[in-house]
């Protein structure tokens, strides 16, 4: 039973990193960025390529982050230079990434990690005898998400981070301060997708494979996590805002676990996308009732 | 400081909706001048400000700021020298952020780096400056600006604008959305700041009384043109009936019919 909680926490934290990215684009920048569905499997693909090539973990994760950031920067460029809506810019990058991901995976839609040592295998072998694999993986992920969260909190306290925070709120004010809003969007969407790619790299290693279809519905999962988090804590402090995203992600995993195990519903794995979608509808209905006056919905 | 040469702006050029908003405007604004601008709705006052600040480019003519041709300079570059306040009190601040965050963002113009500048001494500085507004805001540094009243927000916007030391101030009916009491308060602060910091400013107002009472120079606009430009002694001796009369002589139209221009 406690094992199940461990797994829910692990998945919650892995996808929580992605949810932090979604939080930056959807909430802080008010930019509905769908690149996420492409940059998540991009992270998995880059990580797979790095592992197969024998690149050590730290540079591999840095490469993953960089690849995701590039995808985000591409979306921001499409939006800024071609003057297309953010939604379309994201879909454009997402579509392009499908082919790119396949190329990175050498045209195989699925790469198994059976023959390589993933970060989780490594941790498990180091901690062997002291604790079970679930717990060693969980401790590692708590550390990783804590570091990422703290770095993000610090970033949003810098002058640049504060200005980024004003982007979604009042772009005109950012322009009035002599700051180029295009560059701000590039930085924000870049960091956001870098985090999403990191999350994809962790998810792939946890599942033991990189799959080009790994990204389907990810942005919806992230958004659901962000919205659940908003139910849990109300605050205007960035450290609590990032914390509630992670908590929301864990809660979302928990709810999904319950949904899967309600046997009378006889749900199949293929029903997951349906549940993700419906959970957003439900959350929107709930938040809509809670704050009728607030005009921003998603 | 600012010079506009043969400035013109046509909206929807070449369509049935073609509309000439600004027609051949030539003005030279000197350092330290405080200009009030009046004119009926649609006279082109806000369009003129948009052309000066670079919100959109002119159809013809040139804009010089501090001697440089800035006609094709993007808005955010020009903004480093311009402080602009709008009628809409929401436009000057980020309402979902705290007062101190807002003040930090507006502290210095230009690109923002990865430095954490918001520290104790900065907060103390903000508190001191907020005390000058006399609105009790100095005790609300951690509150979201969205919780403040329109008057408080506009006063804050004004203060932040002054602290960023702009070369040119554009006030676009910045008191028109406030109740009379707050409007007086914000206008009082505006005049005080402009005087204390010797700011070069242009203020659009619907109130002829204010246009005459404040500032060193008065522009009257109509249908995209500056039809009256008075300064010095001549401006000091202006009266509302005289202004109305001069409009009538120039435009051969009745000014009084233009209800938007009636002062309260």
Average pLDDT score over residue span B119-123: 92
Q: pLDDT band at residue A290, thresholds of 50, 70 and 90?
A: low
For residue B96, the chain A residues in CB contact (below 8 A) are: 169, 236
Of A131-140, B60-69, B120-129, the one with minimum mean pLDDT is A131-140
**Does residue B227 have a pLDDT over 60?**
yes
Average pLDDT score over residue span A271-291: 83
| A116 SS3 class | coil
pLDDT at A271: 85
Least CB-CB distance to A173: which of B94, B111, B117? B94
Q: How many distinct structural domains can be found in chain A?
A: 1
Residue B231 pairs in a beta bridge with B217
Q: pLDDT band at residue B262, thresholds of 50, 70 and 90?
A: very low
The answer to whether B222 and B251 have CB atoms below 8 angstroms apart is yes
Reported as a single tens digit per residue, the pLDDT across A147-179 is: 999 999 999 999 999 999 999 999 999 999 999
Q: pLDDT band at residue A295, thresholds of 50, 70 and 90?
A: very low
Q: pLDDT band at residue A265, thresholds of 50, 70 and 90?
A: confident
Mean pLDDT (chain A) is 92
**Does residue B264 have a pLDDT over 50?**
no
Average pLDDT score over residue span A193-202: 98
Is the CB of B101 less than 8 angstroms away from the CB of A170? no
Sole residue written with tokens 């090539």: A53
Query: What separation in angstroms does the CA of B61 have from each of B46, B92, B147?
Result: 17, 29, 43
Reported as a single tens digit per residue, the pLDDT across A235-247 is: 888 999 999 999 9
Average pLDDT score over residue span A65-71: 98
For residue B95, the chain A residues in CB contact (below 8 A) are: 169-170
Is the CB of A162 less than 8 angstroms away from the CB of B118? yes
**Does residue B31 have a pLDDT over 90?**
yes
For residue A173, the chain B residues in CB contact (below 8 A) are: 91-94, 105-106
Of A169-173, B53-57, B106-110, the one with minimum mean pLDDT is B106-110
Of the candidates B158, B93, B169, the residue with the CA atom closest to the CA atom of residue B130: B158
Angstroms from B17 CA to nearest CA on chain A: 24
The answer to whether B248 and B255 have CB atoms below 8 angstroms apart is yes
pLDDT at B13: 86
Average pLDDT score over residue span A72-96: 96
Pairing of strands B225-231, B217-222: antiparallel
CA atoms of B14 and B255, how far apart (whole Å): 31
Q: Which domain holds residue A129?
A: 2-214
Average pLDDT score over residue span B153-173: 94
Is the CB of B115 less than 8 angstroms away from the CB of A159? yes
Count CB atoms within 10 A of the CB of residue A109: 12
Which of A162, A165, A188 is most worth mutating to test chain B (most B CB atoms within 10 A of its CB)?
Answer: A162
Q: Which contacts qualify for A79-86: CB closer than 8 Å, 24 or more apart?
A: A79/A31, A79/A185, A80/A182, A80/A185, A80/A186, A86/A31, A86/A32, A86/A33
pLDDT at A297: 41
Query: What's the CA dihedral at B221, B222, B225, B229 to 10 degrees?
Result: -30
Q: pLDDT band at residue B141, thresholds of 50, 70 and 90?
A: very high
pLDDT at B263: 43
Residue A140 lies inside a defined structural domain of this protein: yes
Least CB-CB distance to B115: which of A158, A174, A176? A158
> What percent of chain A is predicted at pLDDT more than 90?
75
Q: Can you give the residue ranges of every domain in chain B?
A: 94-165
pLDDT at B234: 87
Q: pLDDT band at residue A202, thresholds of 50, 70 and 90?
A: very high
Average pLDDT score over residue span A273-294: 78
**Does residue A293 have a pLDDT over 60?**
no
Average pLDDT score over residue span B28-33: 93
Q: pLDDT band at residue A75, thresholds of 50, 70 and 90?
A: very high
Least CB-CB distance to B112: which of A163, A172, A181? A163
Q: pLDDT band at residue B244, thresholds of 50, 70 and 90?
A: confident
pTM over the 0.80 mark: yes
Mean pLDDT (chain B) is 89
Least CB-CB distance to B114: which of A158, A172, A183? A158
**Does residue A298 have a pLDDT over 70?**
no
CA atoms of B77 and A35, how far apart (whole Å): 30
Q: Is A62 exposed, middle or buried (0-12, 13-18, 19+ CB in 10 A)?
A: middle
Is the CB of A159 less than 8 angstroms away from the CB of B101? no
CA atoms of A219 and A38, how far apart (whole Å): 10
**Does residue A91 have a pLDDT over 60?**
yes
């Amino acid at each position: 039973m406690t094992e199940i909680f461990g797994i829910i926490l692990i998945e919650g934290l892995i996808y929580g990193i992605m949810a932090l990215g979604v939080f930056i684009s959807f909430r802080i920048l008010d930019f509905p960025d769908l690149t996420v569905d492409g940059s998540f499997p991009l992270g998995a693909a880059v990580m797979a390529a790095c592992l197969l090539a024998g690149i050590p973990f730290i540079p591999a994760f840095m490469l993953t982050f960089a690849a995701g950031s590039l995808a985000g920067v591409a979306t921001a460029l499409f939006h800024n230079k071609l003057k297309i809506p953010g939604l379309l810019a994201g879909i454009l990058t997402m579509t392009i990434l499908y082919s790119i991901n396949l190329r990175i995976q050498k045209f195989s839609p699925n790469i198994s990690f059976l023959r390589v040592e993933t970060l989780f295998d490594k941790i498990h072998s180091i901690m062997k005898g002291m604790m079970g694999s679930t717990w060693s993986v969980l401790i590692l992920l708590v550390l990783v998400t804590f570091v990422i969260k703290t770095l993000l909190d610090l970033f949003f306290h810098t002058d640049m981070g504060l200005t980024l925070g004003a982007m979604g709120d009042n772009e005109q004010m950012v322009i009035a301060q002599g700051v180029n809003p295009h560059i701000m969007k590039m930085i924000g969407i870049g960091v956001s997708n870098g985090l999403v790619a990191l999350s994809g790299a962790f998810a792939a290693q946890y599942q033991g494979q990189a799959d080009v279809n790994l990204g389907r519905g990810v942005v919806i999962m992230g958004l659901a996590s962000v919205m659940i988090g908003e139910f849990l804590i109300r605050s205007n402090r960035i450290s609590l805002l990032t914390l509630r995203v992670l908590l929301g992600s864990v809660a979302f995993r928990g709810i999904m676990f319950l949904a899967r195990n309600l046997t009378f519903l006889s749900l199949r794995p293929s029903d997951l996308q349906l549940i993700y979608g419906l959970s957003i509808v439900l959350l929107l209905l709930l938040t809509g009732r809670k704050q009728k006056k607030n005009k921003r919905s998603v | 400081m600012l010079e506009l040469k043969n400035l013109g702006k046509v909206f929807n050029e070449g369509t049935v909706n073609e509309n000439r908003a600004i027609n051949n405007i030539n003005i030279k604004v000197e350092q330290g001048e405080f200009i009030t601008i009046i004119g009926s709705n649609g006279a082109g006052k806000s369009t003129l400000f948009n052309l000066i600040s670079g919100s959109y480019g002119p159809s013809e003519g040139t804009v010089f700021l501090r001697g440089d041709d800035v006609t094709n300079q993007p808005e955010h570059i020009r903004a480093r020298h311009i402080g602009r306040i709008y009628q809409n009190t929401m436009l000057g601040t980020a309402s979902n952020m705290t007062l101190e965050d807002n003040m930090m963002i507006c502290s210095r113009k230009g690109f923002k780096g990865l430095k954490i500048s918001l520290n104790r001494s900065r907060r103390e500085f903000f508190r001191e400056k907020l005390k000058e507004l006399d609105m009790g805001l100095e005790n609300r540094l951690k509150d979201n600006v969205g919780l403040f009243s329109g008057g408080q927000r506009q006063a804050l916007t004004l203060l932040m604008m002054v602290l960023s030391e702009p070369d040119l101030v554009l006030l676009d009916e910045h008191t028109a959305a406030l109740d009379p009491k707050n409007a007086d308060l914000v206008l009082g602060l505006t005049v005080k700041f402009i005087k204390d910091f010797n700011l070069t400013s242009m203020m659009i107002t619907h109130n002829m009384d204010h246009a005459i009472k404040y500032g060193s120079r008065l522009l009257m606009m109509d249908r995209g043109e500056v039809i009256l430009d008075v300064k010095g002694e001549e401006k000091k001796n202006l009266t509302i009936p005289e202004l109305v009369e001069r409009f009538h002589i120039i435009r051969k139209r009745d000014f009084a019919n233009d209800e938007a221009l009636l002062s309260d």
